[in-house]
Copies of this chain bind each other. A is one copy, B any other.
Amino acid sequence: MSQPLFERHRALLDRALQAIAERGYWSPFPESPKAYGEQMPAFGKAAFDAFLGKPFPMTLPGTVGKVGPETSPYGLELGITYPGVDLDPLFAAISEAEVSWRKAGPEAWIGVSLEILTRINKRSFEMAYAVMHTSGQAFVMAFQAGCPHAQDRALEAITYAYDEMRRIPSSALWEKPQGKNEPLRMEKRFRIVPRGISLVIGCNTFPTWNAYPGMFASLATGNAVIVKPHPNAILPLAITVEIAREVLTEAGFDPNVVTLVAHAAGDDTAQKLALRPEVKLIDFTGSTANGEWLEKNARQAQVYTEKAGVNQIVVDSADDFKNVARNVAFSLALYTGQMCTAPQNVYVPKSGIDAADGHLSFDQVAQGLAEAVQKLVSDPARAVEILGAVVNDSVTQRIDAARGLGPVVLDSQAISHAQFPNARIRTPLIVKLDARDDAKYLKEWFGPIAFVIATEDTIQSLDIARRAVRSHGALTLSLYSKDPKVIDQAIEVAEDAGVALSINLTGGVFVNQSAAFSDYHGTGANPAANAALTDAAFVASRFRVVQHRMHV
């Protein structure tokens, strides 16, 4: 029944297969809102508005009561509630839904996954508002990161899944010579079977971007998927799940192949779900404590985690320091430093650096960064479109705590938003520290908090960076240097410690940005993540091969 969906999206899949082989630039879902047609912004806004103040239209097995609403970081009253579910009847319903889905096979799994994805793409505007008002991302970022970029990552996961599955033959003739006698002949059939139920645990800041790779990797390999959104970022994943259920139904499958478990903040729903014996795969993005709890306790499942880390910039020397400062400032300010890839620690030799326009002292470097940030956020109307809003109060509390760590080079300020007077908006804080203050800077200070750290020299900077990646994890490392030897050393540190390195970003690419089909997000080689998005290792254990053989 579903092979028509596979055929419908075959050209897209073929192009995606080429892209994962090359890992150059390719983005199937346009990131420019303008590419979606003139009426779409208004349609999307209307669709988002239609959700407000009502129960979300979704019927789930085992529904008991209501969950929600979320709190918008912009102060908008959302007033949306979601069905709460009782886990026993939910799992019973999933167990029934799995029967035909398990047997449908790779082309059905891939076809349905691609159809879901292309429908999600068509609803990118309403999704962008949903992401904006749950994560606090500014609209354009919510649109790009939450929609086309997240969809690109989903397609990437589907494509790797297909690429692994297609290489397993469905059958083989095994013919073993027996000298002068007739050969032994057997027919062997190899069936791809899913692992079981896949649990996807979403996060507040990137509800779609971080959930889609695991969700679609699991769905595309025949698993049923339970999506457990963060209690404050339910809407984007509720829309996603509802689209999935609609496509499944149309394709002749039970919609309970994909379900949503919304729950209230602070309860133990995530733990209960994670320990269910039926759950065989877990994808998690969030705190180190929760990720490690899952790794330790959810022993029945394969657990993929993205946890906290300490992202770092090593400043050694520069051609044009103004461009360095401009680029770094944008990375610190973008979405208020709430990206898992945002830099935190900036290491600068205490003797300063050589730049094309002469020697700059340590303080001049720190001051230059502060000025670049200040300039970027000086116009409130422009600033709010870069900063977005602070996702929750613990970030503002963390800013307060960080102020006392050392001399403040640039203080964090509240900015008001013309359209949303209650929006919680803050600019970056920059604090000066010394290399010896590692108890302060060798942990994640999630939010718009950066440290400019005085080191003996670049060798010490790289050494600290290496140790930090190894012991605390990191998703990004960035280097500024004119010296090819230092560049080689930094590459060696990155490959040794296992972190992606960006070198001399001074233009329109930022260290926080990770492009699907090209950049591996996370390496799986340091404590910040035990897997990369997306590669073969991310998908290959989501299914198994079961064979049977008989003589022919």
Contact = CB atoms under 8 A, between A and B. Distances in A.
Interface of A: 21-25, 102, 163-164, 167-169, 172-176, 178, 184, 186, 188, 190-191, 193, 195, 295-296, 299, 490-491, 494-496, 498-509, 515, 518-520, 523-525, 532, 535-537, 540-541, 544-551
Contacts of A195: 525
Given A172-B518, A295-B299, A540-B536, A549 B503 contact: yes
B190 A548 contact: no
Contacts of A525: 193, 195, 544, 546
Contacts of A506: 551
A24 B173 contact: yes
Contacts of A551: 504-507, 509
Contact of A548 (B102, B500, B509): B500
Contact of A520 (B494, B496, B535, B545): B545
Contacts of A184: 507-509
A550 B169 contact: no
Contacts of A164: 536
Given A22-B169, A508-B178, A498 B550 contact: no
B24 A549 contact: no
Nearest to A490: B548
Nearest to A504: B550
Assembly stoichiometry (copies): 2
Contact of A537 (B176, B507, B541): B541
Contacts of A540: 535-537, 540-541
A119 to B, nearest CB: 26
A24 B193 CA distance: 20
B519 A549 contact: yes
Contacts of A547: 500-501, 519-520
A95 to B, nearest CB: 12
A535 B546 contact: no
B501 A536 contact: no
A549 B519 CA distance: 9
Contacts of A25: 174-176
Contacts of A550: 502-504
Contacts of A508: 178, 184
12 contacts: A23-B168, A102-B495, A164-B536, A172-B518, A174-B515, A184-B507, A501-B547, A504-B550, A525-B546, A536-B540, A540-B540, A541-B541
Contacts of A501: 546-549
A115 to B, nearest CB: 25
B498 A546 contact: yes
A167 B25 CA distance: 17
A224 to B, nearest CB: 14
A494 B546 contact: yes
B24 A175 contact: yes
A96 B190 CA distance: 43
Contact of A186 (B21, B178, B509): B509
Contacts of A102: 495-496
A61 to B, nearest CB: 22
The 9 closest A-B pairs by CB, nearest first: A503-B550, A501-B548, A537-B540, A525-B544, A536-B540, A537-B541, A24-B172, A540-B540, A23-B172
Contacts of A167: 21, 163, 536
A518 B507 CA distance: 52
A178 B382 CA distance: 21
Most chain B CB within 10 A, of A21, A169, A491, A537, is at A537
Given A23-B169, A178-B508, A532 B548 contact: no
A501 B193 CA distance: 14
Nearest to A21: B167
A173 B172 CA distance: 39
A495 B546 contact: yes
Nearest to A99: B496
A22 B515 CA distance: 34
A23 to B, nearest CB: 5
Contacts of A535: 168, 540, 545
Contacts of A546: 494-495, 498-501, 523, 525
Most chain B CB within 10 A, of A164, A506, A541, is at A541
A169 B500 CA distance: 16
A515 B547 CA distance: 13
A188 B519 contact: yes
Contacts of A498: 193, 544, 546
A468 to B, nearest CB: 16
A296 B545 CA distance: 25
A21 B163 CA distance: 12
Nearest to A527: B300
Contacts of A176: 25, 515
A549 B502 contact: yes
